[in-house]
Amino acid sequence: MRWWPRLFVLIAVVALLAFSGGALLAQESKSTPKTSTDAKSGATARKPSDARSAGPGFETLPASPVLIVNVERIFRVSSAGRAISAAQARLVAAAEKELNTRRAALRAEEAELTAIRATTPAVEFRKRTDDFRRRVGELRRFRRDRGMAIKQAVSTARGKLRKALQPVLVGIMREWRAAVMLDARQVVLSARALDITKEAIKRLDATTPSIEVRIKSGSE
């Protein structure tokens, strides 16, 4: 199903056309002299600059119904995203260290079995080789299970980061009254001013500076 990226683009185009039409109407209304009724009521239309006063960091952005965010960059650059990556690297390094220690012990035992094969009674030698094969199987299971545990722990942590990011993006959309927020990976060309990634990272770092990556008990 590859229709959904086109749907995102279609939504963006429709929103931009609607915004452009509204902008033209606003310009026409500015060029029309106010009537006496308008003067008496004192009512004034909301200026586009009012939206820019919603929060810090947005002074240079134009009002727009469409905003763009680079979610991949947020996961890579944000404080919590970097904490997850660092924790993943530590867990992988620890698992590799233990794997290498066990491999070295098994290699040494394999060399010993080869050396004593000719001089060891068949029953005893079979017992030792069976024990050796059992530990080889344990090592393979450890490698598989630890890899899956690390992958699951990182996935859970990234899910928490995604959940923490959601209200940040919703808040930015509400402040700008945007109708659509697109992931940068679905956008071919856009004005740089529409990208709110930096502001999202800033707000996310303030609310969620770190997320712990924990392996479930029993997988360690």
HSE of 150, CA atoms in CB hemisphere, 13 A: 18
Mean pLDDT of the 149-156 span: 96
Whole-number Å distance between alpha carbons of 172 and 77? 19
pLDDT of residue 26: 44
Average pLDDT taken over every residue of the chain: 78
With a pLDDT cut of 70, the percent of the chain lying above it is 69
Q: Evaluate if residue 188 carries a pLDDT over 80.
A: no
Specify which residues 68 forms β-bridges with: 182, 195
Q: Which of 166, 156, 159 is nearest to 204 (CA)?
A: 166
pLDDT of residue 25: 38
- Angle formed by the axes of helices 79-116 and 197-207, nearest 10°: 70
Whole-number Å distance between alpha carbons of 56 and 172? 11
Specify which residues 164 forms β-bridges with: none
pLDDT of residue 193: 80
Token pair 């490698």 is at which residue?
A: 143
Q: Evaluate if residue 162 carries a pLDDT over 60.
A: yes
Q: Which of 41, 62, 65, 220 is nearest to 145 (CA)?
A: 220
With a pLDDT cut of 90, the percent of the chain lying above it is 55
CATH number of 4-29+49-207: 3.30.910.20
